[in-house]
Amino acid sequence: MQTSIPKTGIRPNPAGDWPKIDPTAFVDSSAQIMGNVIIGRNVYVGPMSVFRADEIGPDGKVHPVIIEDSTCVQDGVIIHGRSGTVVQIGKDANISHGVVIHGPTTIKNDCFLAIRAVVYDSVLEESVWVGVAANIMRTTIPANTWVPAGAIIRSEQDTLSFRLTNLKEQQYKKDVFDASATLRESYLKLYGG
């Protein structure tokens, strides 16, 4: 057992890949960003989150965890991929407190994942809304779908009765997005980023 790992959250994986984090992003000092993780412009990463790309695939490489521009990731979010799989989160997405995302997974632009949602081996098309504590497994969710809180989604069958997001939800999403952008700016200023 080791006890001497340097106490920084941004660190390489066993294949030697270091995270690539855009200078305009803000990553809280308590977050753990490990290995082949690519974080784009204007991303916010909250306290205690873990992004971990570290399982070496059959091709000898670790596939990436990618967070695209202006996406907000709140506290205690866990993102990990199995060996040989990619996690890609598009632009302008909101990943709330305590979400778990497991690869292979693609979350396209402008999605909103509420508190404690779980997404595993799935695709969320653009502007999907995932309610509090909803669980999505091995399913592609069509664009603009509203997944209710606590839903257990195992296949596309389970999503057929779901409505689309309404104007109120779209406004709420925009408000959260704007607040997160302000937060990122203010933390960059606080810490001289």
Q: In angstroms, what is the C-alpha Rg of the chain?
A: 16
CB of 91 to its own copies, least distance (A): 18
Q: Which residues share a beta bridge with 102?
A: 80, 120
CA 151 – CA 81 distance, rounded (Å): 23
Interface residue with its own copies among 36, 37, 40, 55 (CB under 8 A) is 55
Interface residue with its own copies among 63, 97, 108, 173 (CB under 8 A) is 97
Of residues 14-53, which lie at the interface with its own copies (CB under 8 A)?
A: 14-15, 21-30, 32, 34, 39, 46-48, 50, 52
Q: Is 61 in the site for its own copies (CB under 8 A)?
A: no
Residue 156: DSSP 8-state: G
Encoded one letter per residue, x for contact with its own copies by CB under 8 A and - for no contact, window 107-126 reads --------xx-x-x------
Total residues belonging to the chain: 193
CA 178 – CA 84 distance, rounded (Å): 35
User: 121 or 126: whose CB is closer to its own copies?
Assistant: 121
Q: Is 138 in the site for its own copies (CB under 8 A)?
A: no
Amino acid found at 75: D
